[in-house]
Amino acid sequence: MRIGELSTPSALVDLDKVEHNTRWMSERAHALGVRLRPHVKTHKCLEAARLQVDGHFGGITVSTLAEARYFAEGGFEDITWAFPLPVGRVGEALDFSQTLERFAVVVDHLDTLDALEEGAGRRCASIRVFLKFDCGYGRAGVRSGDPVALELARRMSDSRWMDFRGILAHAGHSYDCRSPEAILRIAEQERNSTVSFAEELRDSGVTVDEVSVGSTPTMRLVEDLEGVTEIRPGNYVFFDLFQSLIGSCEPEEVAFSVLGSVVGRYPERGSIVLDTGALALSKDVGTGESSFGLLTHPQTGQPWAEGRLVGLSQEHGKVIWEGRGGMPKIGERVRILPNHSCLSAALHPVYHVVRGMDVVDTWRPCRGW
């Protein structure tokens, strides 16, 4: 099948670019002297995850328990659920941990730890645990100097039912950067603060085997990871328009796009309408002027500079056409690079995998929580 034969909207994955991106990050992890435990939430499918772990120990990071089950059924045996463990799902997590060789959860609150320890005790079941550390993002995790942080670490380390692995951090604030130089500063902060916190725990008598960090922007540019044992980037497998705008990748490395069609054409208004709305692209906006993705030519992949995607409703995408001529005709195809590939990909039940203009495979991601 050729791309032109697909119905729209359709999610496209450029396999040449995915292979390039996964190979590059694999080589980078080796060069930095750390293990690569890639995050799989961007794509949520087995085929991409297998490319990500090639050449490494095979461990992965997931964002939901549904992902953990799906990838375990697909043969992955070392999984970290890198999300604050919901108290209401402690039993599920413990039961699942007994079916897998290595499964770890993340905790950053005493109430969660109480529930986990009580549930593990009733089942006489052990589980691997990480302490979530806030390296500057401000979203979740304990902070250095907080007495609760040391109490959590000590209780995890001393618990009969827990295998305390170490600390886990994520520099999500790197996505607020607007230049490679700013990203590098965040990468250094991520590494320095997390390694220092690990040393604080060790000085207090707590054994910390693992120091796990990583976001795609910081791992793309970081220069020194001394003291870190593993990294967990994920978006790099697809990249997206936002990553290219902040200096985390080159536009030609973006592997995920959405194929759409022109369904409305209004020369007198200077606009066209596409069949790619919020349910095909998500409503994440880009940097600078409000825009919901970059229009490109479906054959060449070059930006269609005259068109600016300025509005999305559920199924409609509104494009302001700023050129004097060349407005696409009804039925003509466009290929859109979304601002955020993770959210856009999550809206599609199937990915059409392409090399050039040929559809060579279909990947079906898992869904749910």
- Per DSSP, the residues of 211-262 read EEE--HHHHHH----TT--EE---GGGT--HHHHHHTSS-GGG--EEEEEEE
Taking the complete model, does pTM exceed 0.85, yes or no?
Answer: yes
- The order of strands in the sheet holding 162-169 is 35-36, 230-231, 210-213, 162-169, 127-133, 102-107, 78-84, 60-62
What pLDDT score does 290 carry? 56
CATH 2.40.37.20 fits 3-9+250-363, yes or no: yes
Question: Residue 11 forms beta bridges with which residues?
Answer: 258, 351
What pLDDT score does 288 carry? 58
78 Cβ partners below 8 Å, 6+ apart? 37, 57, 58, 59, 60, 101, 102
CA–CA dist 202, 182 (Å, integer): 31
Residue 98 CB coordination number (10 Å): 11
DSSP string, 93-125: HHHHHTTSSEEEEEE--HHHHHHHHHHHHHHT-
CA–CA dist 368, 349 (Å, integer): 12
Does residue 223 come out as left (phi exceeding 0), alpha (psi in the -120 to 50 range) or beta? alpha
* Cα separations in angstroms, 45 against 8, 11, 50, 67, 314: 21, 14, 9, 9, 25
CATH level 2 (architecture), domain 33-236: Alpha-Beta Barrel (3.20)
> In the chain, which residues fall in CATH 2.40.37.20?
3-9+250-363
What pLDDT score does 89 carry? 97
CA–CA dist 189, 193 (Å, integer): 6
CA–CA dist 249, 239 (Å, integer): 7
Query: Helical H runs in the chain?
Result: 15-32, 46-53, 65-73, 90-97, 110-123, 147-158, 180-203, 216-221, 241-246, 278-281, 341-345
* 8-35 exposure pattern, b = at least 16 Cβ within 10 A, e = fewer: bbbbbbbbebbeebbeebbebbeebebb
What pLDDT score does 108 carry? 97
Written as six digits, the tokens of 6 are 């697909």
What pLDDT score does 299 carry? 86
User: Phi and psi of 272, rounded to 5°?
Assistant: -135, 165
Report CA Rg, the chain.
22
pLDDT tens, per residue, the chain with 369 residues: 999 999 999 999 999 999 999 999 999 999 999 999 999 999 999 999 999 999 999 999 999 999 999 999 999 999 999 999 999 999 999 999 999 989 999 999 999 999 999 999 999 999 999 999 999 999 999 999 999 999 999 999 999 999 999 999 999 999 889 899 999 999 999 999 999 999 999 999 999 999 999 999 999 999 999 999 999 999 999 999 999 999 999 999 999 999 999 999 999 999 999 999 999 999 988 765 558 999 999 988 889 889 999 999 999 999 999 877 789 999 999 999 999 999 999 999 999 999 999 999 999 999 999
> Which among 248, 261, 131, 238 is positioned nearest to 194, based on CA atoms?
131
- Residue 78, helix vs strand vs coil: strand
Max intra-chain CA distance, the chain: 73
CA–CA dist 20, 25 (Å, integer): 9
Question: Residue 36 forms beta bridges with which residues?
Answer: 231
> In the chain, which residues fall in CATH 3.20.20.10?
33-236
What pLDDT score does 161 carry? 96
CA angle 80, 81, 86 (to 5 degrees): 150
